[in-house]
Amino acid sequence: MSKNSNYNISVEAEAFFIAEQSVPEQNQYAFAYRITIRNAGAVPAKLLTRHWIITDANGKIQEVRGKGVVGEQPHLRPGESFQYTSGAVIETPVGTMQGSYQLIADDGARFEAEIPAFTLAVPRILH
């Protein structure tokens, strides 16, 4: 895993509660999240896989691994970004998501981009 400026992918996340798809009485809280992946490095790279760690307020962890994101494996040249929206369902009104993307640069180097932790929260649940 390389940590130099050639291989630099930044990840931003924004989460939204989806009341219409949530059933609090059954401990089902649905959230959408919008992710922006930007190639801030010097080498074009293709996103291969994702690894998510989703934790609810009870400490229950769901791990999700898979190929690409939303059925795509975006190839990003330096300065380009890719945005997508997906979702998660947890058993509590508050939780967190974090993880990583695995990428391969056009020069053959494989590297990882961290997805910083972000909060899933029903509005007005946190002060």
CATH of the domain at 17: 2.60.40.1470
Q: 126 in a domain, yes or no?
A: no
Q: Global pTM?
A: 0.91
Q: How many domains does the chain have?
A: 1
E strands present in the chain: 9-17, 29-39, 45-56, 61-67, 75-76, 81-90, 94-105, 110-121
Average pLDDT over residues 38-54: 98
Cα 109 to the center of its chain, rounded Å: 22
Residue 18, domain member (yes or no):
yes
Tell me, yes or no, whether 1 lies in a domain: no
Average pLDDT, the chain: 95
In a domain, 83, yes or no: yes
Token pair in block for residue 63: 């791990």
pLDDT at 44 over 80: yes
pLDDT of residue 75: 98
**Residue 2: is its pLDDT beyond 70?**
no
